Structure 1
């Protein structure tokens, strides 16, 4: 860490996900706050609401999103700035001008110029130093590994990042447009709306999320379990309690939504299942060889190393049966390889945890506001993200 950065306050670590936002300080094991990535404007008072405060008026408020399906895009940059300012000043309760900011983004989480993000953070929030770090790299740092396959299951999409010696490319990081909220919760919500149990409103979707977190699971033998359920008339096998005091009975809905990751057509998607995406990403190693001219290991040896370290992160990955189903599916597609799938501690905020460690140990490259203002745009794009120079970034 440079002397200029060391003289500033403790770096802020910020991870804005599609569903939840995590914020805290470098060196801490857990975020200071975890809040819903949600903002809206009360139609009667015109006041801005953030996080859980939106929920009581969610069916009446005009909803805004600071990030779309895990991506920072031009059309949401105004909301991104407003949300970020609220998180730092009102939730973390510090002055953004006093602390460097480490912003974590998904493997394909930026659909806007780096400079456009920097303008908001340097000029509008007066951030003194900035680093934008890919969350897969943060996970590697937290694991103490340089090679692993990082599966990030988000609310709106799932990203598979096979990283070799800290290296990955956009082309080898596929994004599966299936997510825990956008698909699993939505399918469950649709089933319960069809039964007349929940309303077809944003508030009803929130209640469906509560049901999902209490009773849903991933079936290891989906077809067999579905046939058994249909043969017995889809009995209501369990109940879930709602925050409004209601109770919902669930049968096959418990495992129908979670199956969308492995049978995408359930959600109307013409996509490769998650286990297929994982295997395809691990065997596409040509870009790594082209970049590094590294022929010390065969493709099979590299695939074997990636298969031994498949890491699941995100809130959904702790759903009963999910990790086992991924393990079974990948092993079936990679006969002869040892496949190991694990869910680390702090899985629901693991990217944030890795970013906190990296910032504490001085393993990232900070770009000072003064340097950014003096530098040309090409320099800004090259230096605004990643670990220390000399370590490959993706």
Structure 2
């Protein structure tokens, strides 16, 4: 087993494991949670236990707006992850830590104190997400003989707190080209909370439930005006209507989609854009009879319907101005990021766009992005978007690859160097 701990410390999820491994040992929430029936705060894997009821859970996060603001709370979570899940001793291990881009110096100092003084790691290397995603994908491209593309890429990281579009050249993120969109999975969840609470049931305090409903039911629209028109149809004529059943605390502790076939009807609309080839359109009469009666909404149960909310929530990333936000959409952010670079890089960057981060998992995300980009890019440039097979683990896998390289230890800052030189001088080694 490697003695390098790789920690992708995201605002929503922690991905933790050992350098050289294919997958992380743990992918767990980066927060503490306390059920209403308990006085004890639970962390990491405890929040994913099968008997953990996600209703009425109070949440405390060490991150706010993408940056670490509570090191003490972060230490409590790391203690659980490193001690109970990784089962390793920090005093005999090195740490590869993934930090947000443009991390303020005060937060860098607090992080270094946490790593070296509180946990006692023997050495530290700090990396940013775009360079690690590029490193992982470039290793696959080079194996396929695409050496030219492996030199640079444009990484689109749609995470929990915000979205970055970052040009990467030879494993270095070009900071002057990075563009940020202050929208991520957290903002989408909050927006869905507001829509559901206004239209049906007050769920403003049910973050985990709304997170689950968002991940299972939301998708990206390829034609918003057309889908809004379809969403006005009543009953079974509405292809987007579906029901989410809330936990009851007895037989159902986590919530679920009432009829998964109903929830997937949008995939089979006859518009030539089905994301599931070979699947026939759903018969509108299939739920007639006893089975259909069983799937109808029971007003005696706690459940809510979603229709146009399913595509209006992810629409925030593409058209934030529609919600009154004074920000460019994702396609425009990409254009600005590319145009900030040397013109010689433009055609290669447009041809090597990589999507990473949990918010890119919405169905049709890449297809919608390509449709938005194509009119904004020169006709003689090719637009190619690569979707990672597992965008939540993409950054971590790049870190695992880097941590397994022969030169990794020489790139780290040791505990003795930190004690002698201080945080600021040590950080210069990471070009931050």
The TM tier, using the shorter chain, reads 0.7 to 0.9
DSSP-derived class of the 1:12 partner: strand
TM-superposed deviation, 1:346: 2.4
RMSD: 2.6
**In structure 1, what is the Cα distance between the partners aligned to 2:126 and 2:91?**
17
TM-superposed deviation, 1:135: 1.4
DSSP-derived class of the 1:13 partner: strand
TM-superposed deviation, 1:372: 1.7
DSSP-derived class of the 2:70 partner: helix
DSSP-derived class of the 1:162 partner: strand
| Residues 343 and 99 (structure 1), Cα distance of their counterparts in 2 relative to 1, 3 Å cut | same
Match of 1:259 among 308, 311, 315: 315
Q: Is the 8 A contact 2:54 2:209 kept in 1?
A: no
Q: Is the 8 A contact 1:151 1:310 kept in 2?
A: yes
| Residues 231 and 270 (structure 1), Cα distance of their counterparts in 2 relative to 1, 3 Å cut | farther
* Alignment deviations for residues 262-310 of structure 1 (CA, whole Å, 9 cap, x no partner): 111344412101100011111012xxxxxxxxxxxxx433111110110
| TM superposition score normalised by structure 2 | 0.76
Match of 1:83 in 2: 77
| Residues 9 and 263 (structure 1), Cα distance of their counterparts in 2 relative to 1, 3 Å cut | closer
DSSP-derived class of the 2:157 partner: strand
1:28-47 correspondence runs (5 A):
28-40=21-33, 47=40
DSSP-derived class of the 1:21 partner: strand
TM-superposed deviation, 1:363: 4.8
| Residues 90 and 280 (structure 1), Cα distance of their counterparts in 2 relative to 1, 3 Å cut | same
Match of 2:64 among 57, 68, 71: 68
Q: Which has the larger radius of gyration?
A: 2
Match of 1:130 in 2: 124
| Residues 110 and 43 (structure 1), Cα distance of their counterparts in 2 relative to 1, 3 Å cut | farther
* Alignment deviations for residues 7-36 of structure 1 (CA, whole Å, 9 cap, x no partner): x95200001111111100000111101101
Q: Is the 8 A contact 1:160 1:174 kept in 2?
A: yes
Structure 1 residues without counterparts, runs of 5 or longer: 1-7, 286-298, 386-392
DSSP-derived class of the 2:167 partner: strand
Q: Is the 8 A contact 1:214 1:240 kept in 2?
A: no
Match of 2:385 among 303, 316, 341: 341
Q: Is the 8 A contact 2:167 2:337 kept in 1?
A: yes
| Residues 262 and 363 (structure 1), Cα distance of their counterparts in 2 relative to 1, 3 Å cut | farther
| Residues 208 and 242 (structure 1), Cα distance of their counterparts in 2 relative to 1, 3 Å cut | same
- 305-314 vs 114-123, which moves further: 114-123
Match of 2:226 in 1: 224
* Alignment deviations for residues 222-258 of structure 1 (CA, whole Å, 9 cap, x no partner): 1222134336699473425446246443221111111
**In structure 2, what is the Cα distance between the partners aligned to 1:92 and 1:182?**
31
* Alignment deviations for residues 63-102 of structure 1 (CA, whole Å, 9 cap, x no partner): 3212223222xx3122222222221112212222121111
DSSP-derived class of the 1:94 partner: coil
Number of aligned residue pairs: 360
| TM superposition score normalised by structure 1 | 0.83
**In structure 2, what is the Cα distance between the partners aligned to 1:315 and 1:39?**
20
Q: Please tell me whether residue 321 in structure 1 is matched to residue 315 in structure 2.
A: no
| Residues 282 and 349 (structure 1), Cα distance of their counterparts in 2 relative to 1, 3 Å cut | same
